Amino acid sequence: MSDLLASEIYAPDAAETPLLAIAGVSVLKAAPVTRLSFRGREKARVAAGKAFGADLPVIAMTATVSGNRVAQWMGPDEWTLLAPETDLSSVWERLEGALSAEPHALVDISDRQLAILVSGEKAAWLLNSGVPIDLHESALPVGTVTRTLYHKVPVVLWRIGPDTFVVEAWVSFMDYVSGLLVQAAEELKAA
Q: What are the extents of the domains in the chain? A: 5-31+112-190, 33-108
Residues with Cβ < 8 Å from 37, sequence gap 6 or more? 74, 78, 79, 80, 81, 105, 106, 107, 109
Q: Are 65 and 5 in contact (CB under 8 A)?
A: yes
CA distance 147 to 113: 13
- DSSP for residue 19: S
* pLDDT score recorded for residue 2: 42
* pLDDT score recorded for residue 3: 46
Residues 125-134 as b/e (b if ≥16 CB within 10 A, e otherwise) read bbbeebbeee
CATH 3.30.70.1520 fits 33-108, yes or no: yes
Residues with Cβ < 8 Å from 53, sequence gap 6 or more? 66, 67, 69
- Fold of the 5-31+112-190 domain: Gyrase A; domain 2 (3.30.1360)
Q: Are 161 and 124 in contact (CB under 8 A)?
A: no
Query: What are the strands, taking DSSP E only, across the chain?
Result: 20-22, 25-29, 33-40, 63-66, 69-75, 78-84, 104-108, 113-119, 145-150, 153-161, 164-170
- DSSP for residue 70: E
Could you read off the pLDDT of 41-65 as tens digits, one per residue? 999 999 999 999 999 999 999 999 9
* pLDDT score recorded for residue 87: 96
* pLDDT score recorded for residue 11: 85
- Residues lower than pLDDT 50 in the chain: 1-4, 6
